[in-house]
């Protein structure tokens, strides 16, 4: 079934079913049920997906909401140690942060490596952790 689908140019599953139902493929023993079973067993035909699907831009992640954290988390990991580093990715400056105990990491683009810029950003990071109840 997939061999014929590949030979006729990788049509989508719906188009392939349409071709079979309208008897556009001469002497084909394949039925709609066969195509649907192959779809269930093997998943979608990759050849028919390539070039037809596009990447959607993900939504920006915000961490401003202050939902209550479980008490167990604060008891076990209330004191947080942050590891911070500055790195360049394609000549763009980023500050990378990860908390050692809870393994929460973030990356943020920064304008420059000036001490005032870095200290302002570190203060914002610390305030974010304090707002959640961490020390």
pLDDT, residue 46, reads 85
Give yes or no for a contact between 11 and 19, defined as CB atoms under 8 angstroms apart.
yes
Residue 79 has a CB neighbour count (10 Å cut-off) of 9
Does the residue 125 lie in any domain?
yes
Does the residue 29 lie in any domain?
yes
Give the domain range for residue 101. 71-131
Which tens digit of pLDDT belongs to each residue from 73-92? 777 778 888 999 999 999 99
What whole-number distance in Å separates Cα of residue 107 and Cα of residue 94?
6
Q: Are residues 75 and 44 in the same domain?
A: no
Q: Are residues 91 and 43 in the same domain?
A: no
Domain count, the chain: 2
Q: Are residues 114 and 75 in the same domain?
A: yes
Give yes or no for a contact between 25 and 4, defined as CB atoms under 8 angstroms apart.
yes
Q: Are residues 26 and 77 in the same domain?
A: no
Does the residue 56 lie in any domain?
no
Low-confidence ranges of the chain (pLDDT < 70): 63-67
pLDDT, residue 32, reads 92
């Amino acid at each position: 079934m997939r061999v014929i689908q590949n030979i006729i140019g990788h049509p989508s599953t719906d188009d392939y079913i349409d071709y079979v139902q309208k008897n556009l493929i001469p002497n084909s023993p394949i039925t709609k049920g066969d195509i649907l079973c192959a779809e269930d067993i093997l998943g979608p035909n990759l050849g028919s997906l390539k070039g037809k699907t596009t990447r959607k831009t993900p939504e920006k992640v915000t961490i401003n909401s202050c939902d209550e954290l479980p008490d167990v988390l604060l008891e076990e990991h209330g004191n947080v140690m942050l590891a911070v580093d500055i790195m360049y990715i394609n000549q763009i400056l980023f500050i990378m942060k990860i908390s050692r105990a809870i393994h929460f990491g973030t990356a943020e683009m920064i304008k420059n490596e000036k001490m005032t810029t870095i200290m302002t950003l570190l203060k914002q990071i610390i305030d974010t952790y304090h707002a959640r109840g961490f020390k």
